[in-house]
Chain A
Amino acid sequence: MIRLLIIDDSKVARIAISSYFSQIDPNIQIYEANNGTEALELVQTHDFDGITIDYNMPELNGLEVAKKIFELKRTPKLFILTANIQNAIRDKVEQSGFYFFTKPVTKDLIQAIYLEIKK
């Protein structure tokens, strides 16, 4: 069973992402965090196969959160999922070795992330 963590400060974004993942794989186990601090606590106590991370969040941005998670556990696949489509942000994320996907969230986009997690 796949374990997924969704990190996004928007409840609605978490609902949308979660809803599409559940449609694709009803058995997926989904956890949610609305900021980086909550996420880091969850990562310390749980193992995840994949983590989606919003970029523009209060306190720590998504890239900072991804780097901290990677320092703690190198196993999960980390996906920055953001409305921020700037090339400069994409470059920073990809140079750090993380996946970069842009909102809006659609079923096709979540399917692509799901397939990456399953690889």
Chain B
Amino acid sequence: MILNEIQIDSVLEIFNIAIGRAAASLSTTFDKEVELSVPKILLVTSNEALTYLPVQKNEEVCAVSQHFSSDEVNLEVKLIFSEESSLNLAKFFLEKQMIFLEEVTQLEQDTILEIGNIFINSFIGTIANLSHLELEGALPNIALLHSKEILKNDEKSAKTLIEAFVKFSIKPTAITGFLILILDSDVIEKFLDKIYKSLLGKDAE
């Protein structure tokens, strides 16, 4: 399957708006600027997808994942932080709530999960609103993974994926992370069609 220029533009446009909204949520949470990279869209197999992710080959990462579905679309969103960034993010958040070091370790995963929940749902909620989809979300989950395991479940199916990712950083801290949107090849065309029509105001046709 080859995506044409208009389809790529449509996805990038929706992705840009949605990631902007998610970044605004993160910025409000921390009262800091959130800088975004230029989003990238790839149509790759799951094995190939790993090589495009901005992680070191043997890096330990913290991943918040959430699955969304409707009658027409299934998709997965993953928010990835390095181990160091995830600890710093938790510290940063908890210090705002006047909670200090001794409790950070205990609350780290819960904090990252809640931040991930807000970020991912701002992102996916914007996509759902713009494309007039109602997406039901499973509960988000968090895992500490080896970088090569980020797309582990998807590797088994070895399907072609559309993967959109964007890197972000919270200024002036050194906290960085990235978000991946994964769509199976089965639903890519339906999803793109929805997005394209909604952008052109043709979704009611």
Contacts and interface: CB of A to CB of B under 8 A. Distances in A.
Given A10-B110, A11-B107, A12-B111, A86 B135 contact: yes
Interface stretch (A13-21, A37-45, A66-74): A13-21
Given A10-B113, A15-B97, A16-B97, A104 B128 contact: no
B137 A103 contact: no
Contacts of A89: 134
A88 interface: yes
B97 A84 contact: no
A86 B128 contact: yes
> Secondary structure at chain B's binding surface: helix, strand, loop or mixed?
helix
Contacts of B28: 104, 106
Interface in B136-165: 137, 139-140
A19 B125 CA distance: 27
B94 to A, nearest CB: 8
A39 to B, nearest CB: 17
B107 A84 contact: no
Given A85-B21, A85-B126, A86-B135, 11 more contacts: A12-B93, A12-B111, A12-B114, A15-B107, A16-B97, A19-B98, A57-B139, A83-B125, A84-B137, A104-B118, A106-B28
Interface of A: 9-13, 15-16, 19, 56-58, 82-89, 103-104, 106
